Structure 1
Amino acid sequence: MTSAHALSVIVPTFNEENYIGACLEALLREEELLHEILVVDNNSTDRTVEIVERIAVSHPAVRLVREPTPGAVHARNTGFDAATGDILGRIDADTRVGEGWARTVLDYFGRTDTESVGAVTGLSNSYDSPYRSLKGWYMRRLVSKGLLGNEQRIRNLHGANMALRRTTWERVKSATSVDPGVHEDADLALCICAAGTEIAQLSQMRADVSPRRALTPPGEFSHYLRAGIRTLERHGAMTPQHRRLLRLHWFTHLGAYLAYRPYDPDRHRFTVRRLIFGGPPRTMPVSAAVA
């Protein structure tokens, strides 16, 4: 280790055989900076476990942990509790961290002027996306205007690209929800803020994520948004402005769904077949039954 801090990265996973290999490959580019990588398997029935175990043979930092209770929040909690580092990174199985991701996290928490910050989250673009360049340009514009990144304090965490101090987790763990009908990352963020601890958004903490969430049908996406309402209501944070923003988010998602529907990421082009029949939707990380 080249830092006073030890960074553990937790990766909850369920049936991610098409993504977990590339996820771990990206992390392992900074293997010398990582204390450990914990892949928490949540009852996968495909080749996810086989792939992780094969990679772990040549990379001892990779460790497989199992959590039988279904739900990303249970896998996350098990990973956080099993980790032995004092900094807990958390990404999704379809995340590919960018160059210098671990160094950015360690350097930030290693500074003497960041002691009030208990968690950090970064910025993400999409891979396998025909709109990657446009999104990257827009994100850079927002950063240059000070609307994203720049270590500004925010009240949210992006579960696909975040890290927190172990002391922060231990402080708020008992307050977090395991309700499958809430957003576990937003709930964690609101618990952290309620404890008087700051969250910073870092411009250089970059990751690429799959755009497959855009393929979620608008009806199912409505369940996801209702989970956002439940999360805010749980913390007494729901306001008319939040409701308007969530409503706008639905229309924004509808536009993204229509834009992505004809695109085949395997063939890297738009097809008539995809336009008519669509592609496989992503299962959203909340329960529609309770959302």
Structure 2
Amino acid sequence: MAGDHGMVEDYSAAEDLGMDDLPRNSNRESNVVSTHNQLLDALTTFLTVTTHHILYLRRLYPPTSFLSTRAYDYPVRQNRHPKVCAWVNDAMAAVRDQLQKDVVEKLSLCVYECKANRVLERWTFDLRSFPQVIKRDDNIPIEPKPPNEEEDGYDDEGDDDDGDILLEQLNLADLEAHFRATLSRVATSAARLMPLPEGPGAPESSFTLALEVKDEADRPVGRMEKEERKWIAAEPASALNRPSPSVPPLEPQQNEQVLDKLSPRTHPVRLLEVGELRLEVWVEESAAKFEFDLPKAGPSSHLPP
């Protein structure tokens, strides 16, 4: 029950519909993630897999449109439509570009109803603690500092004063184990959520990806790079979650029940910590989502279509 979710018509179709279409850690030759680019590739692949799996779990497309496969030795689903695959891959390439620039605070997969353009669910990945290095060091292996820097002639002048130079190598098996555990928690969390509106009269639902940039980050101005042109400014969260004007008044005895139903709910999914990588995941259900399950006020009342 998903509509057009953005610039899909501008993207070329994927040639391969299987998991080979996902980004790979092409620079890795061992079981160790030792460079910043390799860590970016691993994270981008995980976010791509998770996005497809959430689309399946939340039934944004018919279940028959998904392929059954495995990632990190965990059963997942991937949408088989070429344009959906291309849209997700291109969006993740744009996310990777912003992560490399150290401007990302949060990445959100927003599920919204198309008629009023209101967010119903927001799956958030907190990336503010993602390790950063200066760009020229992206492909330099991560090595710890010598114990005696002065005696060994270690040059500290090129280090980042904020301490964001990666100092610790990551074992790939540990990293994938945490990705596998997070996918499992995503599935169990999705099962506990209230279903999205469906059935006769229910609004069409779709999705998009949104970035929340850091306060001190430079906003795209003037001549933007190719990846930056894929982003547009989002509406304020308050506007996306405004109450529907067509919700009818209710009887006094129903007020307490309705207020409880219309309260936004946040569900923690998982905190992923491995080496210097720290990623927190949670899902929010907006007040707008619960309007589709309100008790009726009387024979003359009606719910928004």
Please tell me whether Structure 1 or Structure 2 has the larger radius of gyration of its CA atoms. 2
Q: Which band: TM-score by shorter chain?
A: under 0.3
User: Could you state the TM-score of these two structures normalised by the residue count of structure 1?
Assistant: 0.28
Judging by fraction of residues, say which structure has more helix.
1
Between the two structures, name the one with larger relative contact order (CA 8 Å, sep ≥ 6). Answer: 2
